[in-house]
Structure 1
């Protein structure tokens, strides 16, 4: 079975996905069996792409993601990888990563030989002949909404620690009237929205919350 996009997702043009959009749904084969993105509703999803299997930068990324799997699980977040390579190549790569790094890749890796998913998500331009632009990450909330995205060049590795930090920050501000300051880490001070009535307060536009309370 090749990738199957939903009707709405198939109608999207490349590069149209923005923060606040509903993540395009699709069905495809994966290393963990048949996969459908919408089946993960109710959970956070970290959906990330890579240009090809057996590439050096992505091999280090996948190895670290496997090592930090428990941290993502604790945050209620599912990891989902994607590349244009075949399912058989994915299985061979997973075995090679186990032998080289001593890690088990237990999250699904999607095959996308037609580049349908990559194009629907704007990872690959319609005119692209290969997948070299596919190093994007989408942070998808439990409602299926894209809350943040990142894109990296093929020769610079992503930081798994930063992925976790951004995920924690998104969860911290979710449905809460607070903001996270530069470099925020879990347990750090939060920001309050700027007040519309300064009334002479010097910090009216940048007010820290003294105690984050019991927020997760």
Structure 2
């Protein structure tokens, strides 16, 4: 298992874009590795199709994308045509690679096995995992969804926006935050430093405890 802040494990794998070394493919960029249970399945097709449509948004954020399941490369390539058709994309090429984890080695190593989902041969399948990896190859976020629940990739974009903002400023993002909305000053910043760091102003919300920890500021 990989924990937040850990260097994401390196591996070599066959993909729809050829053989890759994961760390070389990552470079020093932001990236998302996301798994799906199986090719030619309904929910997975909608998910990967949605990612195709969101490629321009991920590119704006300089985020690389790579998918994974236990199917082989030939299966991935054939299924990609269905994904593109569902997405309304006529390019003929899936705009991100899919890893073939046929021996389940990555699924096991990264804790992506769904105990309730198996293929026709009784072999376990991958869950709907999401790993967001930041510069320095460190894990910034991980999510695990069961096979029956499709992911919300608009939420994943929102998380990327939060992660990229908070990586460079001493702020946190509150509940339901969206880009452009007010952020929160992190508790480690003193009142004096906050005045210098946030020239647009800091608003402190009063609470019964009297502790001035609810501090909002316009997005840097």
Cα-to-partner distance string for 1:137-175 (whole Å, 9 max, x where unaligned): 000001100011111111111001001000110001003
1:17 aligns with 2:10: no
1:54-78 residue CA offsets vs partner (Å, 9 max, x unmatched): 1111100000000000100110100
Partner residue of 2:51? 65
Give the TM-score normalised by structure 2.
Answer: 0.82
**Number of residue equivalences:** 195
| SS across alignment from 1:68 | helix
Stretches of structure 2 that go unaligned for 5 or more consecutive residues are 192-205
- 1:81 correspondence with 2:67: yes
Query: Are the equivalent residues in 2 in contact too, given 1:29–1:111 (CA < 8 A)?
Result: yes
CA RMSD of aligned residues (A): 2.3
In 2, Cα distance between the equivalents of 1:108 and 1:130? 23
**RCO comparison, higher one (Cα < 8 Å, 6+):** 1
SS where residue 169 of structure 1 aligns?
A: helix
User: Residues of 2 paired with 1:139 and 1:57: CA distance?
Assistant: 21
Aligned with residue 22 of structure 2, among 18, 37, 40: 37
**Does residue 50 in structure 1 map to residue 33 in structure 2?**
no
Check the 8 A contact 2:8/2:138 in 1, yes or no. Answer: yes
- Displaced runs of 4+ in structure 1, greater than 4 A? 195-198
Specify the structure having the higher radius of gyration (Cα). Answer: 2
| Equivalent residue number for residue 143 of structure 2 | 150
Asked if the contact 2:114–2:127 (Cα under 8 Å) also holds between the matched residues in 1, the reply is: no
